[in-house]
Chains A and B, each alone.
Chain A
Amino acid sequence: MSSVPSVLHLVGNTPLFELTKVTAGLSPQVRVFTKLEGFNPGGSVKDRAALKMVSEGLRTGALTPGKTIIDSTSGNTGIALALVGAVLGYPVELVIPENVSIERKKIIAAYGAKMIFSSPFEGSDGAMRMCRQILHEAPERYFKPDQYFNTANPQAHYETTGPEIWRQTQGQVTHFVAGIGTSGTIMGTSRYLKEQNPQIQIIAVEPDDAFHGLEGLKHMASSIVPGIYHEGELDRKIPVGTEEAYETVYRIGREEGILVGQSSGAALWASLKLAREIESGVIVTLFPDFGDKYLSTNLWVGWKEFDKKQERV
């Protein structure tokens, strides 16, 4: 029999997908690929970091039986920690801004984790502060993976995402484009890729303004800067507007047959901007998750306007 001993064995090794429709009109020497992270068992790239951070906690003895896993999250890390906790038998508590999508709340609840809601006005920084407060009151009860400061977060990508991209592109990758939430994905992946070939360009995608609708992405200049984030390791940042990212999500659905979330739209918009600027290259980006968790969010408010706009073109 061929089978998988644990759902945790299904984390990583996601497909590399070549985008061939949304890339129409580009130089034929430019190819654009994306890692489909929605294929992770918890449905997002965060499974990689959550698994690594919890495994490191167990290995170092920071996480022992009787303790509860706690962290602040805007959603996907919460889902991933809830899943890992369920499999390994550790209770999980998550501090989440109250306005995260209803789908996320239901998924987290389905894995048996407890949610504590922070102010919707203060976003993920508010959740981070509230989590610190809870931890401060009873530090002995908890293990906090601390995704914004834990080096096991980028390490997960150094050990998995980076090597997968190198292998899947047979070493031909020239540019890596990824959004910044905690920055774990871009920091860890870029370190591995730069070791293989220092010429590979690392491009971060961030919202063009502090006030934006790109759930999951962080506008660094106006946020608590994650401890794992080192801007000097990036070659470039591309700011993306919310509307442009949303419209790119609709295109990915219609043209490529993949329903994604807003952060994937932002990643592809930036990748296509880059693709139009170069003569040749192999651009790899990453779609952090699929779009089913966002059907109730603003992403799909007024999207029929886009239809009308398309018809006029």
Chain B
Amino acid sequence: MGARVRIPTPLRRFTGGAEEVSADGVTIAAVVDNLEQRHPGLKERLCDEAGKVRRFVNIFVNGDDIRFLNNLETTIKDGDEVSIVPAIAGG
């Protein structure tokens, strides 16, 4: 099962500059683990030591915030679009 994951600018240094990468997994948790295997360093940015999504990180599945779905257990279907959106910097 594969999702398309949109990567925000501040995290593209982990993806070799790619704006979108693919990752496998049937849940967001599995997608995040798979992202970590493919792009080491990403998971630590997204999740805290306890494995929970950091508060300032927003993850959307096809435009819906996972906080209003099933958080990390939100299920992913083939071809779903997962977006990672940061807070806004500067002026």
- Do A and B interact? yes
Query: Contact between B90 and A126 (Cβ–Cβ < 8 Å)?
Result: no
Query: Contact between A218 and B85 (Cβ–Cβ < 8 Å)?
Result: no
B30 within 8 A of A: no
Q: A121-B85, A246-B55 are in contact. Are A210 and B10 (CB under 8 A)?
A: yes
Q: Tell me which residues across on chain B come within 8 A of A76, comparing CB atoms.
A: 91
B38 within 8 A of A: no
Query: Contact between B55 and A302 (Cβ–Cβ < 8 Å)?
Result: yes
CA distance A99 to B7 in the complex (A): 15
Partner of B6, one of A75, A121, A262, A298: A121
Q: How far is the CB of A163 from chain B (nearest CB, A)?
A: 23
Query: Contact between A215 and B91 (Cβ–Cβ < 8 Å)?
Result: no
Q: Tell me which residues across on chain B come within 8 A of A226, comparing CB atoms.
A: 90-91
Chain A proximity mask over B52-66: 1 for CB below 8 Å, otherwise 0: 001111100000000
Chain B proximity mask over A214-257: 1 for CB below 8 Å, otherwise 0: 11111100110010000000000000001100100000000000
Q: How far is the CB of A69 from chain B (nearest CB, A)?
A: 15
Q: Tell me which residues across on chain B come within 8 A of A122, comparing CB atoms.
A: 8-9
Q: Tell me which residues across on chain B come within 8 A of A120, comparing CB atoms.
A: 8, 83, 85
A147 within 8 A of B: yes
Q: How far is the CB of B52 from chain A (nearest CB, A)?
A: 9
Chain A proximity mask over B27-49: 1 for CB below 8 Å, otherwise 0: 00000000000000000010000
B72 within 8 A of A: no
Q: A121-B6, A121-B8 are in contact. Are A209 and B45 (CB under 8 A)?
A: yes
Q: How far is the CB of B83 from chain A (nearest CB, A)?
A: 7
Query: Contact between B87 and A75 (Cβ–Cβ < 8 Å)?
Result: no
- Of chain A, the residue at the smallest CB distance from B46 is A211
- Of chain B, the residue at the smallest CB distance from A246 is B55
Chain A proximity mask over B1-32: 1 for CB below 8 Å, otherwise 0: 00000111111010000010000000000000
Query: Contact between A182 and B91 (Cβ–Cβ < 8 Å)?
Result: yes
Q: How far is the CB of B65 from chain A (nearest CB, A)?
A: 10
Partner of B89, one of A77, A121, A214, A246: A214
Which residue of A207, A210, A242, A302 has the most chain B CB atoms within 10 A of its CB atom? A210
CA distance A246 to B56 in the complex (A): 10
Partner of B88, one of A46, A97, A148, A246: A97
A57 within 8 A of B: no
A190 within 8 A of B: no
Hey, which bits of chain B sit against chain A, CB under 8 A?
6-11, 13, 19, 45, 54-58, 67, 83, 85-91
